[in-house]
Amino acid sequence: MNFSSPNLLTVAVNNTLTPFTLPCGQIVRPVGPMYPSGYFRQELIFDFFNYAGIHRSVCLLSLPEPHVTGLLLHPEVVTRLDGPAVGNVWYVVESSANNSGFAAANVSCAVKIFDKDGTIVFESGSSCTGTADLDSPRLWWPIGSESQEVGHMYQLEVILLVDSHVVDIYRQSFGLRSVKVEADGLYINDKLFYFCGFGKHEDFHVFGRGFNLPLMVKDFSLMAWTGANSFRTSHYPYAEEVMEYADQHGVVVIDESPAVGLHEFPNETLKHHQRVMEELVDRDYLHPSVVMWSVANEPKSTDRQAEYYFRTVFDHVRKLDPSRPVTFVIGGSNASLDRAAQFADIICLNHYYGWYTDTGVLNLVSPQLMYDVKTWRDRFQKPVIMTEYGADTIAGLHTSPSFVFSEEYQVELMAEYFTAFDQLRAAGILAGEMVWNFADFMTDQQVNRVWGNRKGIFTRERQPKAGAHVVRQRYHSLASRDSHNSSELRNLAPEHLYQVISVV
């Protein structure tokens, strides 16, 4: 680095996909008189556009010497038999001091923990390792939690000192909450949580997958408008700013790896998959909004090799983070043949009854869905989340009676799913429902994709379709139903909900 003149930093980016990358793809090289010499094409094994380039913010850090090089932080809620729970925060501060010729005796750390209001709740004078016990901790609660503080975050501050002189300051946010899975679903702070949310994509018609702060705020505002409490980072890790915003606003996240399109399971891919999960857990471990890891989306999990592959991946993730449940998202499989669902803590299903199967036949949607979900439950005895369902919908296309691709068809199809969801939830089987998709998004060019995937309840420009009002009515009504103090929750809901369907 030359501080007295301009510096040029060059980064090479390659978006070529192979069977050994995540996500997966392949390079096809057709030959013959119909193709020029050397012709090839990139084929994708997934349904979203393969953008290239640097999508996220780039930060260049100028660090002092010595400086903080790492912070190991493990927050947990400890239940006591003789009293209320306490917050236990274990920390280890790593620095470059020892590598810079400084004697260990001359290096110290002043550690403080602040609550959301800036009040110091813990202070340690010299040690770079320690444990903070927080009595009566302010827990992180998800949005919609009745009479609870939503999205509370603590901040740990490390001041690195050499010979009593401050040389570096590092701050890290974290939250305190517990997560566990029981037969009827996922519990946050010992309270049953029902997922009302979306599968999403980082995608916009102007700048593709490039990160944009105003768009992030817009998307979270629209999710709040619908009454949603969660989303899945389909099908890759999202920007760090998104995760921080979810923390602060109490939005629950299923954090998914880029392992989409897994149809083969070579050892090279397995090793890469393990490294990817290490990077994901390392980056997002301290986000309380992340309640579950998803290791893959719609792999060929009926394949014989999938059993060893996913046993290895699941075991690896649980060693990295024993505090969270682990899952993967199932599509194109069935309960009797699947070889990977046995390792998941929660069964996550993608199903498109009335769309990809028995297209247009709405009266089959509810009974088929009921049968299939119960089949998965009967075999694996685990709660089920419907992580994808929906129909492509062209905004402004109206038909009477409803017809595929019309706004009316999307609305009526959702109503059939809601009927099944209510019965499955009442039976203690269903742990959540997540619409596919939050907004329309770009795909590669296909004859069954009209300028992208149109299953969003919002357009790619974030304008609502009729389905957005239906989902809004559904999610706010579920929040009112779940409240022990219904009048309090109803005060949070809009005065006028678009009454397209009835919710009992």
Q: Which residues are catalytic?
A: 298
Name the CA dihedral angle for 224, 228, 232, 237, rounded to a multiple of 10 degrees. Answer: 10
Amino acid at residue number 211: F
Rounded to whole angstroms, the Cα distance separating 342 from 331 reads 15
Contact 289, 243 (CB under 8 A): yes
Contacts of 41 (CB under 8 A, 6+ apart): 27, 28, 30
Contact 389, 435 (CB under 8 A): yes
Contacts of 392 (CB under 8 A, 6+ apart): 355, 404, 405, 450, 453, 454, 455
Listed residue (107, 142, 351) closest to 228, CA to CA:
142
428: left (phi over 0), alpha (psi -120 to 50) or beta: left
Please report, for residues 70, 245, 261, 281, 403, the alpha-carbon distance to residue 294 in angstroms, rounded to integers and kept in the order given.
26, 20, 14, 11, 34
Q: Which pair of tokens denotes residue 352?
A: 């498109």
| The residue to which tokens 């995608």 are assigned | 203
Amino acid at residue number 136: S
Listed residue (72, 110, 113) closest to 90, CA to CA:
72
Rounded to whole angstroms, the Cα distance separating 153 from 139 reads 8
Please report, for residues 108, 173, 270, 434, the alpha-carbon distance to residue 176 in angstroms, rounded to integers and kept in the order given.
26, 11, 33, 25
Listed residue (421, 420, 446) closest to 432, CA to CA:
421
Listed residue (299, 324, 312) closest to 272, CA to CA:
312
